[in-house]
Structures are given as C-alpha cells and as structure tokens.
Amino acid sequence: MRSPVARIARLAGRLGLLVLGIGVLAIVFVQFAGIVGKNVALASDVAASRTQIAALRARESKQLRTIRRLSDPAGAIPEIHDRLHLVGPHEELIYLRGVPTAAPGGLGASP
C-alpha cells in the first residue's frame, strides 16, 4: 500500500500535468485563432483590392472609349456642343423666347 503522502504527490503531479496540458492547448488555440483572424482580414483585403482593380479597369476602358470618340470629329463636335450647355453647381440655364409684341398703335387700338 502506498502512503497518503505518495498518493497526494501523485495526484498533485497529475493535476500539474493536466494544467500544463490545458495551458499548452490554450496557447495553441489562441495562436490558431489569431492566424485564422489574420487570414480572414487578408482575404477581405484581397477581395477589396480585386474589386478596386475591376473598377479601375472599367474606368480605364471607359476613358479609352472616350478618347477614341473625341479623337474623331464626328464624336468631338457633339461633345463640344453638350459642354457649351453645361452649367456649374448652383447654376441654371434659362432659355428666353421672344415676347410677342403688341399690335402697333397701343393696347386699346382697334384695327
């Protein structure tokens, strides 16, 4: 038979190993969670970058079409016409038509 002191020492040793094992597992779990978090953040950044690249490519394509259109007089003349009618912020274009003139002789004159 073992003495009570040996049993307590054995139990304390096992508890110590259990606590040590739990600590190691906790550290591994925290490290793994940190790596997963970084991967998710980087994946989000990559997706955002790809979206920006696609938007920039579409913008470039639109600008190249505009350059080609404006290089041709058939495309540049309507553009110039449109730009002459553009207004700035807080501005309005007002078109006035000729006001019909009164008949000669005044307002109350009879023909």
- Domain containing 55 equals 4-84
Question: Measured between alpha carbons, how far is 101 from 61 in angstroms, rounded to an integer?
Answer: 54
Quick check: is 55 in a domain? yes
* 111 SS3 class: coil
Question: For residue range 88-106, what is the model confidence (pLDDT) as tens digits?
Answer: 778 787 777 777 776 665 5
Q: Is the Cβ–Cβ distance between 48 and 58 less than 8 Å? A: no
Give me the pLDDT at residue 108, please: 52
Q: How many domains does the chain have?
A: 1
Quick check: is 97 in a domain? no
Give me the pLDDT at residue 50, please: 98
Q: Tokens 């207004």, residue?
A: 87
Quick check: is 103 in a domain? no
Question: For residue range 17-29, what is the model confidence (pLDDT) as tens digits?
Answer: 999 999 999 999 9
Written as tens digits, the pLDDT of the chain (111 aa) is 678 889 999 999 999 999 999 999 999 999 999 999 999 999 999 999 999 999 999 999 999 999 998 888 888 877 887 777 777 778 787 777 777 776 665 555 554
Quick check: is 104 in a domain? no
Quick check: is 54 in a domain? yes
Quick check: is 49 in a domain? yes
Quick check: is 71 in a domain? yes
Quick check: is 96 in a domain? no
